[in-house]
Amino acid sequence: AAFRESRLGAFYRASAFLASSPQRLRNWQWHYLRSAIDSHAWQLETPDRQIAFAAYLETGSQMVLVDERSQVQIVDVATAKVVRDVELPTGRPLAISEDARFFLSVMTTDPGVMRDDRLTGPSAKFVLYEINTCKAVQDFECTPMDVAILKGNQYAVSPGGKYVASPMSNGAPGVLFESATGEPILSYPNSWGCTFSPDGAWFIYSSDKIQFWDIASRQFARSPIAEKSRNLRCSPDRSLL
């Protein structure tokens, strides 16, 4: 089981299988696999914290982690050491951009409006932060209607932070809009998950099927895939999903 999980890249689960195996079974194969897993994976200790989002910086040598309290850490992948640790103003983290440069949060001056992972009033706003400077670069008001604060990648921020995708609750369609102006450019079915291609050219979302929308031409870029998925990621050349 541990070997199978390691072949899938699930090093944490593979490590858990090895740790649970009895001492009498820990022969040379166990030690070999243990060594192979340790050479590919590291674990960052995060006591009393729940990581909400993670993404690699462009070089691949560092990773950005955002926890549920909007604390941002930049971690060196080779050493598993935190090289930068910044806590942003209190808010609910919603998404991190595909290039790990921008971070979307929702802020409210009235904690009472946020119940059951849902905003129930207009006294809140989205805030887009640039991770490198930890400064707010754009903010825009939430609509008076309920805005679902969903976990996972229901929200999405494009590389460069130019576009934000926001789902709506009560069966209303999601909206893709420009972060600088708040101008909506696409209304799409309330999705299971959504993302942007790494080059920012496509907006990809999943409802009853996975759709690929070209932002520049405002048209679908290719035929849909008849599948549903909550976790969507696209390869840099857009050939794999």
**135-158 pLDDT tens trace:** 888 887 665 443 444 444 478 889
At 123, is the pLDDT very low, low, confident or very high (cuts 50, 70, 90)?
A: low
Model confidence at 1: pLDDT above 60: yes
Cβ within 8 Å of residue 97, ≥6 positions away: 55, 103, 157, 158, 159, 160, 161, 196
Distance CA 72, CA 17 (A): 31
The encoded tokens of residue 181 equal 């102006």
**Cβ 35 vs Cβ 24: under 8 Å:** no
Q: What tens digit of pLDDT does each residue of 55-113 get?
A: 777 767 788 888 877 778 888 877 778 888 876 665 677 788 888 888 888 776 555 54
Cβ neighbours of 177 (radius 10 Å): 17
pTM flag (> 0.75): no
